[in-house]
Structure 1
């Protein structure tokens, strides 16, 4: 089954820069905390990252087709001028969530590394779920 949260109504996305966003799983607005998975709306697809605090995320940054790098970037940079994002820890009720320090260590341990990028089996959502749950999955890839 794919990620049922991928195509929720746009009002669940926030464009505020105060780091108080919609938590789609718990259906409330709250402050983003380290270890949260952030879902950035990109129109026809969703981009995913791990929030590490201080307005920063660690994410898979595609450099060109088939190649990506794990990078730490500001939320403002990832959002862009018209960006929208939300908190989406979509497997929290299905899988155990790793301790925050372990989530952050998993993300930081691969910073700067290059990887073979594949939208179906090695994408940004695989990275984020791998960090948060220790299991890599992608609702977007499953939907194909």
Structure 2
């Protein structure tokens, strides 16, 4: 999995498939009147990693390898590539780019960013969730989640 670090609150996640390409789940931004928010209409895209970075840092981050057994690499790549062009329903908390990437690697959709934000909100830290949403929403016209 590739983690593209957009801010201190938010990273975009993708699956590396080789030759500089990633497969990732994105959504279009919608102006809600108060701010730009992610749309429920998401799509799976294959793009060059360098075209998605937007001057952000990135790293390989298979952070759940000790908790879950990764699927074989060829299975991950085939499954991710088979989804390119698919339309999926996007949800910031229930199915975002990190859920997509972990689902391809481990066959389970998990988002630690969402879990951390939920813990922050439960502890009275609504600023954490607000920062996560704001960072995720202002990156560019197409929101890479």
Fold in common (TM above 0.5): yes
Match of 2:79 among 106, 112, 126: 106
Q: 1:71 aligned to 2:45?
A: yes
Q: 1:41 aligned to 2:5?
A: yes
Match of 1:89 among 39, 43, 62: 62
Q: Residue in 2 aligned with 1:17? A: none
The superposition leaves residues 78-119 of structure 1 with CA deviations (integer Å, 9 ceiling, x where unpaired) of 112x21101110111111110001101110111101111101
- The SS at the match of 2:16 is strand
TM-score normalised over the length of structure 1: 0.72
**2-side partners of 1:112 and 1:63: how far apart?**
14
**1-side partners of 2:50 and 2:112: how far apart?**
25
User: Alignment RMSD, CA only?
Assistant: 0.9
- The SS at the match of 1:128 is helix
**1-side partners of 2:108 and 2:84: how far apart?**
19
Q: Residue in 2 aligned with 1:119? A: 92
Determine which structure has the larger helix proportion and give its number.
Answer: 2
**2-side partners of 1:83 and 1:141: how far apart?**
21
TM-score normalised over the length of structure 2: 0.71
Give the deviation of 1:48 after TM superposition. 0.1
| Residues matched between the structures, number | 107
Gaps of 5+ in 1: 1-36
Gaps of 5+ in 2: 30-38, 119-145
